[in-house]
Amino acid sequence: MLKKGILFQGLPRTEGGDYQDITYLFLYGISRNVLCRAKIRDMKKEWREYLLEKADKSTYQTPAFWKMLKKEEKKCAGIVLGLLEDLRNCEDVKAEKAWVCLRYLIRSGYRTEEEYLREEKEISFSGLWELAGKEKEDLLLRSSRVCMCLLMAEENHREIRRDREIFLFEASIKKSEDLWENEEKPDCGNSSRERKKEFLHIFIPFYSGMNKVPAGAARFGKKETKVLT
């Protein structure tokens, strides 16, 4: 179940056995998705308020992340964070309710991705990266869309073949961590657009270098999860 998989723990690193935390990318993708925001607005007021209270107690309070979102996006991200807190920390009906809601939000907002995963006989990581490339103007959204694909693929027991594009995704996760979680960096009131430019500045050089990597240079070891092979 996705509940016990990468939504709960994060994405596996290529080497080692630890995990990369995709929480902020997940929140960013959901909060920037128009269809997801519409579904969140339909939630009962009492439940939204409860979830926002849960989010306020969460450790995911890095100012750099929250200042990147607009007013409604920030509220939606808080509500989704509250769902994640219930999913990760509760063992009762609250966790189950949170899981059902998160699953509904993902499938409501990422129908194109769900259809792609359902119809493709063989799925490669480069295929996911190309599919997510429709948001070329925002590499954060592109990376978050890949996260959603991996989450749905895990739930549907679909294996994804590793190839060279996974390096781009792993680099984008690392750069987003640097962008959002570096507490020592002065804030200076940067706007959302300025922060995205900063992300592009540290990501694009890596992307350009990847285009020069010889075919076959990217190799992976044994399968680490049932999603990525």
Distance, in Å, from the CA atom of 96 to the CA atom of 90, rounded to the nearest integer, reads: 9
Question: Would you place residue 157 in the very low, low, confident or very high pLDDT band (cuts 50, 70, 90)?
Answer: confident
- Residue owning tokens 């989010």: 55
Mean pLDDT within 68-78: 95
Rounded average pLDDT over 109-115: 93
pLDDT at 136: 59
pLDDT digits 0-9 by tens, 139-151: 888 889 998 998 8
Helix (H, G, I), strand (E, B) or coil at 68: coil
Which pLDDT does position 228 carry in this prediction? 34
Choose between 136 and 45: higher pLDDT: 45
Q: What pLDDT is attached to residue 174?
A: 79
**Given pLDDT bands bounded at 50, 70 and 90, which one contains residue 185?**
very low
Rounded to an integer, the average pLDDT of 183-209 is 43
Domain ranges for the chain, please list them: 2-210
Please tell me which residue, 91 or 48, carries the higher pLDDT value.
48
Per DSSP (E only), the strands in the chain are: 11-12, 19-20, 123-124, 160-161
pLDDT band for position 223 (cuts 50, 70, 90): very low
The answer to whether residues 101 and 83 touch, using CB atoms and an 8 Å cutoff, is: yes
Q: How far apart are CA 19 and CA 15, in angstroms?
A: 10
Beta-bridged to residue 160, according to DSSP, are 123, 228
Average pLDDT over residues 102-111: 94
pTM: predicted TM-score of the whole model, two decimal places:
0.74
pLDDT tops 60 at residue 65: yes
Of 27-36, 157-166, 167-176, the poorest mean pLDDT is in 167-176
Instruction: Please report, for residues 4, 32, 168, 182, 198, the alpha-carbon distance to residue 64 in angstroms, rounded to integers and kept in the order given.
Output: 29, 16, 23, 8, 12
Question: What pLDDT score was predicted for residue 108?
Answer: 94
Once rounded to an integer, what is the mean pLDDT over residues 47-58? 95
Strand 160-161 versus strand 11-12 pairing type: unpaired
Query: Do residues 155 and 1 lie in contact, with contact meaning Cβ atoms separated by under 8 Å?
Result: yes
Q: Between 115 and 226, whose confidence is greater?
A: 115
